[in-house]
Amino acid sequence: MYHELTVWSRGIIMDKEARDVSSCVATAARALGYHADNVSDYIDDPDRTNCLVRRYARFGDSPIVDRFVYENPCPDWVVLVEETIIKAVNFLRGTPERGGVLVINSKRDPEYLLKFLPDEMKAKLAKFVVVDAVGLAEQRGSSPWMFVRNLSELALDRMSTEGAEERLAIGLGIAAPLIGALVAATGVLPVDAVADVVADRDAMLRGVAHHTVVGFAGPAAETREAEKPQTDGTDAAAPTAAPAHAAR
C-alpha closest to that of 38 among 166, 199, 195? 166
- From the number of C-beta atoms within 10 Å of its C-beta (0-12, 13-18, 19+), residue 248 rates as exposed
Torsion, Cα 193 195 198 202, to 10 degrees, reads -170
**CA gap 179, 23 in Å, rounded:** 10
Only one of the segments 78-86, 140-148, 166-174, 209-217 lies at the binding site for other proteins (rule: CB under 8 A); that segment is: 78-86
**CA gap 241, 188 in Å, rounded:** 5
Specify which residues 217 forms β-bridges with. none
Residue 43 touches other proteins, criterion: CB under 8 A: yes
Residue 69 touches other proteins, criterion: CB under 8 A: yes
Nearer to other proteins, 15 or 235 (CB): 15
Q: Are 36 and 22 in contact (CB under 8 A)?
A: no
Residue 93 touches other proteins, criterion: CB under 8 A: yes
Nearer to other proteins, 84 or 230 (CB): 84
**Least distance to other proteins from the beta carbon of 248, Å?**
10
Residue 140 touches other proteins, criterion: CB under 8 A: no
Residue 105 touches other proteins, criterion: CB under 8 A: no
Binding positions for other proteins, rule: CB under 8 A: 8, 10, 30, 35-37, 43-45, 50-54, 62-69, 71, 73, 82-85, 87-90, 93-94, 106, 108, 112, 115-116, 118
